[in-house]
Amino acid sequence: MPEYKAPLRDMQFAFYEVLQAEQHYQRIGAEDASRDMVDAILGEGSKFAEEVLSPLNRVGDEQGCKFEDGQVTTPAGFKQAYKQFVEGGWPSLAGETEYGGQGLPESLATVLNEMVSTANWSWGMYPGLSHGAKLTLSKYGSEEQKQTYLSKLTSGEWTGTMCLTEAQCGTDLGLLKTKAEPNADGSFRISGSKIFISAGDHDMTENIVHIVLARLPDAPGGTRGISLFIVPKMSVEDGSTNNVSCGSIEHKMGIHGNATAVLNFDEATGYLIGPENGGLKCMFTFMNFARLGTAMQGVASAELSFQGALAYAQDRLAMRSLAGPKFPEKPADPIIVHPDVRRMLLTQKCIAEGGRVFIYFCAMQGDILHSQASEEEKAEAEALMNVLTPIAKAFLTETGYEAANYGMQIFGGHGYIAEWGMEQIVRDARISMLYEGTTGIQALDLLGRKVLSNRGESLRFVTRIMHRFCRDNETKGMQEFIKPLRKLYKEWGGFTTKLGLKAMRKPEEVGGASVDYLMYSGYVTLAYFWAAIANTAMLALQDNTISKQEKAYYESKIKTARFYYKRILPRTRSHKEIMFSGVKNLMDLDADHFRM
């Protein structure tokens, strides 16, 4: 297993230089998030990720969680690491001060989350899901509910979950059957079974707060009849059991260190969050946060696999360079001299470093939504998040999985052997394209709900940013990035209109084009961020006083951006051809004739 080293220089570059976090925090009134404080937090967070969590990554994979006599036990060291995490005050970083939080911006917590996620994804899911529960309670919970649950979730004394899926329904939540019957005291009796609940049961905290979707007795059918409830594992009044039991935990391809539970609610006491039959809207606060968190898994997989593959490629000797021996004193050259190995390494680097800026940018839009910014600024941030969230979730997990596989490939046969840890990254990463909505679901959400439903108005907020960037940075050195980016963002808008017209005649065209539309959108969006990275590096190189090491750092950014534009961005051409090939080639074959 690669020993994770937090890429602090690259995090600081993305955060401070490309996205100008200091100015961002001043604009939103987050004066406490000074450069010195942020750097101190990142430094201490990196130590925790590297020294505590990273060594447990393989332990979690090999031992997994145990389920005996209805009790879940996490792998050795997980519980102790969580205790250390809580004692360090990490869960409260972005929490509301009135409930014991430190009141720092969500984007800062996102940077910490990247380190935790890359060092040990399975472990990071336990506190990670609590964060979504906090946001949901903060937005929709009553003051009494906030006082009861938020302080414990903020401190990390309790963790939280999201309980949506049932055996008969995954993404189609209109089919869920869990019932909520009212009690005389205003509480509800929750009965039903939920499956695939990440961190659904464990031994790390004394209580777990489940956020549960269920139906009231007189609720209408479909998604219009879903309500949202708080259901603690243990009663908050006296600590007694609350008729919530773990029926089993899943045996999975990866993320063995996280308990994916089947939870049974047998007239468990629950409390309504938000309005009756308005649960799905309330839950979207949780789901949207979870989707960005899942996008982070794509970046984390790419980063960890890249770290392992780079070290191996620099050390492993095999054959000679086609241009002649690069290390004649050795029996063979390191494999990093070979063009195809560099192709794979650079692809990993593009996804990890470009994806990092992408996610940090999204997190900063979240900061704006929770700040004292103007209503106009908040409306723009919300529109950007509506479009970018499904792109980030699906595109970064798809490409992150590709990057993880390249790590295995660079190791050759050794990559297939468990002791190196590269195959674990692949197994852990594979779930990211499935949970919180598959790639196909994210694609339908993007094209159908987020773009075509308002005739591309939300998309124009994204392309407007690209337009302003191209207009303001049209210097001679940037033309190799500006020219193709300008062509693509204009094309993106034109494609959207064209697909909308096709869908008006035949709605199935949306389903036929959506995944390729999303991937096309992802490559264009990442092109914008790589152009911003290159521009930042070019401006930094104008300072003649920078060190030789820093000069090489900035030059590497420009060269990586160039690789992305020449070797990765052309993938948009094939996605264009496919999305406009029409739905007929998908639907022509009768369902009964797939196997004749």
Residue 70 near residue 201, CB atoms below 8 Å: no
User: Which residue is associated with the tokens 């900063």?
Assistant: 364
Alpha-carbon dihedral 70, 76, 80, 86, rounded to 10 degrees: -70
Q: Which residues face 163 on adjacent strands?
A: 212
From 267, 436, 550, 577, active-site residue: 436
For residues 213 and 279, the answer to whether their CB atoms sit within 8 Å is: yes
CA 84 to chain centre: 24
DSSP, residue by residue, 412-426 = GGGGGSGGGSHHHHH
Nearest Cα residue to 504 out of 458, 452, 459, 454: 452
One-letter identity of residue 207: N
Half-sphere exposure of 529 (CA within 13 A, CB side): 24
In what helix (H) or strand (E) does residue 192 lie, and over which residues does it extend? strand 188-198
β-bridge mates for residue 160, sequence order: 209
- How far apart are alpha carbons 64 and 252 in whole angstroms? 10
Question: What's the CA gap between 56 and 58, in Å, rounded?
Answer: 6
| Single-letter amino acid code for the residue at 584 | K
What single letter denotes the amino acid at residue 424?
Answer: Q
Residues 6+ apart with CB under 8 A from 377: 368
Rounded to whole angstroms, how far apart are CA atoms 534 and 12? 15
Confirm if 194 and 254 have CB atoms less than 8 A apart.
Answer: no
Count of CB atoms within 10 A of residue 362's CB? 23
Cβ count within 10 A of residue 175: 13
471 Cβ contact partners less than 8 Å away, ≥ 6 residues apart: none
Q: Say if strands 227-232 and 244-249 run parallel, antiparallel, or are unpaired.
A: unpaired
Q: HSE on the CB side for 65, CA within 13 Å?
A: 32
**CA-to-CA dists, residue 172 to 37, 165, 175, 179, 294, angstroms:** 44, 9, 6, 17, 20
Q: Dig out the tokens for 6 from the structure.
A: 């937090």
Answer for the pair 257, 122: CB distance below 8 angstroms, yes or no: yes
Q: In angstroms, rounded to a whole number, what is the distance separating the alpha carbons of residues 463 and 90?
A: 36
For residue 195, give the H/E element and its range.
strand 188-198
**How far apart, in whole angstroms, are the C-alpha atoms of residue 262 and residue 228?**
19
Helix or strand holding residue 67 (H, E) = strand 66-68
* Residue closest to 392 by CA, chosen among 512, 288, 510, 499: 288
436 is catalytic: yes
Q: What angle do CA 111, 114, 119 make, to 5 degrees?
A: 140
Let me know: does 297 contact 313? Beta carbons within 8 Å: no
Active site amino acids: 436
